[in-house]
Amino acid sequence: MAIFVVQRHRARRLHYDLRLEVGGVLASWAVPKGPTLDPAVRRAAFQVEDHTLEHGDFEGALGRGDVIIWDNGTWVPAEPGDPAAALEAGELHFDVYGRKLRGRFVLLRTRTGRDGKPEWLLLHKRDEYAVDGWDPEEHPRSVVSGRTNEEVAAEADGRPPA
């Protein structure tokens, strides 16, 4: 099993960073609307640079933004073979075992954007963990500290948390 983490990151725009441990690094995607357990919903996911494994533990202020560890746990490929090769081929089916997210997910590469970066779809398969209408924004707290992004930002600014 390898680790996964989803960080809720408020920067210029709110997004969620999905990170999967692959080949000793965290392969990463920005997911603007966040992952969902609703199998009817397809989420855009924009591949970004890989991060070090240590980055998966980060929670706090970051430049003009703030980051919480929205979810974490472990993941395994759903099919035999090398997950790096599956990503290279543009399709990875995987099972996550997190505190908020569970079940079978799929990352599908759809195209290369104007910026030259791969664009993907992230979806949850219909399985025993699927929940119609599930919205990540209804679950705003860190699974590590219990804080919200707002509380992290207030603490970084020296203000008492609301």
Rounded mean pLDDT, 54-82: 94
pLDDT over threshold 60, residue 3: yes
**Is 40 in contact with 126 (CB distance < 8 Å)?**
no
Distance between CA atoms of 155 and 142, rounded to whole angstroms?
15
Query: Percent of the chain scored above 90 by pLDDT?
Result: 88
| Furthest-apart CA atoms within the chain: distance in Å | 50
Distance between CA atoms of 85 and 62, rounded to whole angstroms?
32
Rounded mean pLDDT, 131-157: 95
pLDDT over threshold 90, residue 30: yes
Rounded mean pLDDT, 64-91: 96
How much is the pLDDT for 113?
Answer: 87
Q: CA angle 12-16-17, nearest 5°?
A: 105
How much is the pLDDT for 117?
Answer: 87
Residues across the chain: 162
